[in-house]
Structures are given as structure tokens and as C-alpha cells.
Amino acid sequence: MKIDRIMEILDAKICTEFPYDDIDIHTACGTDLMSDALAYADNKGLLLTGLNNPQSIRTAEMMDICCVVIVRGKEPDPGLVSLAQDKEIVVLRTNYPMFTACGLLYEAGVAGGEVRG
């Protein structure tokens, strides 16, 4: 699924500025605990979180996650956006709570990541 479609589903706004047309999202995970995000085996996915600081981008970078969605209407921290811009990680923000955002993406065909055993 392309970023534009994710933005449409989540009524999300983009917070970073670089080309993202070639990014394709197939899996997602939602958590505010970055240690939980690290437990997922799927890379090249999407992270939904309410954690609004650069740690979410550092975790995304380690996991090769290409898009972070900040939920619950939070305005992304400028340090988060700056780091994401440097690392070419797309940052979106949505007013939906995490549970709803995850459900909408799942309903649209985005799969959940597999947990490492």
C-alpha cells in the first residue's frame, strides 16, 4: 500500500518533505513501547505510536521501518521530524487513537507483523 493511500485511510498529514512515491507498506505494528516494536520481525513496514520523540525514529531506523505514524492528534516533536528527514523516514500524524488507526489499516489490507520467537 502506498503512503498516499495510508494518508487517505487515516486522514493523516505528512510532516516530512522528501519523495515517498516508491515506498510500499505491507505490514504495521502499533506500540508506545519501542522494546515491543523491536520484537517484530517484519521490516519495511509502518510503526504507529504515540511516542513523540526521536527515540521512535531511532527504533524505526534500526528496524528498517520506512514510515512512522504519530497517533492521538499529537504534533510531532521538531527533533523527531528533523531526524526522520535526515534518515528518510516518512512521518505522518493522525487524530485517530492507535486502536482505531490500526483497525482501519488492517481492514484496508495491511497485515500485522510477526513477533520474533
Q: Which domains does the chain have, with CATH numbers?
A: 3-112 (3.40.1390.20)
- How far apart are alpha carbons 59 and 35 in whole angstroms? 9
Mean pLDDT of 1-26: 93
Residue 43 has pLDDT above 70, yes or no: no
The model's pTM: 0.92
- How far apart are alpha carbons 85 and 19 in whole angstroms? 11
**Percentage of the chain with pLDDT > 90?**
68
> pLDDT value at position 67?
95
**Per-residue DSSP letter, 59:** H
- Name the band, by pLDDT with cuts 50, 70 and 90, for residue 18: confident
Alpha helix stretches (DSSP H) within the chain: 3-10, 34-37, 54-63, 78-87, 98-107
- Name the band, by pLDDT with cuts 50, 70 and 90, for residue 84: very high
Amino acid identity of residue 39, one-letter, is A
